[in-house]
Amino acid sequence: VSTEPNEASPLGYSRSKWVAENIIDAFHRRVSSPSLSPQTNANNKNHNDNTSSPTFAIPPTLTILRIGQLTSDTTAGIWNTSEAWPLMLSTAPTLHALPDLGTQPLDWLPVDIAAAAVLEIAESMKHIPAKTVADAEPGCPVLHILNPATTPTWSDLLTCIRTASPALGVEVLEAREWVRRLEGFEGELPAKRLVGLWRGSFGEGEGKGDGRGVKEGEVGDGRIEFGMERAREMSGVMRGVGALDGGFLVRMWRWVEGLAVAEGN
């Protein structure tokens, strides 16, 4: 768990997660500390024995789960309408364009798979023996629930959309140009409320981006590799997570397209 707030992105959303993790980690350390634990103090008062090491049990259920980018479910393609990605995709029927984000991996995790993994991990935690203070980890355990796949890519998704909906005539625009088209659209579009986010992500006005969100000085696609060994140990679902297939992309797109039409985008 990071103790440096600047390691979180400037967005309040990201920093709120940093705060939440540190609260949980602080509580974990408190109940794990012989000098701070209420149970330890009680044991010392009852037995008047300050020489023996406390051996009270620590509940093994306190764990931080870091969830990666979620996407639609695997059966109906239904996605959270307030997420940035479906909002971006929903502009295609109106703007007849989407941004070029190159080979950015679609390392998205279907929400129903994520939910199943969380339930499996929660159930697994029930069967972990309680630890004594001497055996306890110094910090709160952290598990990563995400999709490590590097394929398909955003470019693959654009190809899928243009093949599935040729009548839309979707152009692939340089990302900054797509933002400008969105800003210039005079009608109502839910995606317009995220213009500021995308302008910053794509380097608009800074002269430091390449138009796809990659800042000067970043290496490759800027991806950070997260350890998933512990999550896989505790969840068979996580051991089976793999790349999104073409059928999934089509189902997801059909739902986004239908939502956009229903909302008048």
3-state per-residue secondary structure call for 25-45? HHHHHHHHCCCCCHHHHHHHH
> For the segment 30-57, what is each residue's pLDDT rounded down to a tens digit?
876 655 544 444 444 444 444 444 444 4
pLDDT at residue number 7: 80
Query: Which residues have C-beta within 8 Å of that of residue 1, sequence separation ≥ 6?
Result: 21, 22, 25, 64, 139, 140, 142
Take residue 147 and report the two structure tokens written for it: 């999709």
Higher per-residue pLDDT: 64 or 138: 64
Average pLDDT, the chain: 81
**For residue 14, what pLDDT band results from cuts at 50, 70 and 90?**
confident
Cβ atoms of 121 and 144 within 8 Å: the answer is no
CA atoms within 13 Å, Cβ hemisphere of 141: 17
Predicted local distance difference test score (pLDDT) of residue 259: 80
d(CA 123, CA 239) in angstroms, rounded, equals: 16
Q: Which residues pair with 100 in a beta bridge?
A: 174
CB count in 10 Å sphere of residue 107? 19
Mean pLDDT across the stretch 152-178? 97
Average pLDDT for residues 140-148, to the nearest whole number?
93
Using the predicted structure, report yes or no on whether residue 66 has a pLDDT greater than 70: yes
Residue 185 is which amino acid? F
Mean pLDDT of 193-198: 93
Greater confidence (62 vs 105) lies with 105
40/49 Cα distance (integer angstroms) = 11
Please list the residues that pair with 93 across neighbouring strands: none
Q: What is the mean pLDDT of residues 195-200?
A: 92
Tens of pLDDT along 230-248? 999 999 999 999 999 999 9
Contacts (Cβ under 8 Å, ≥6 apart) of 83:
70
Average pLDDT over residues 130-135: 51
- Whole-model pTM? 0.79
Residues paired with 64 in a beta bridge = 142
SS3 labels along 145-195: ECCCCCCCEHHHHHHHHHHHCHHHCCEEEEHHHHHHHHHHCCCCCHHHHHH
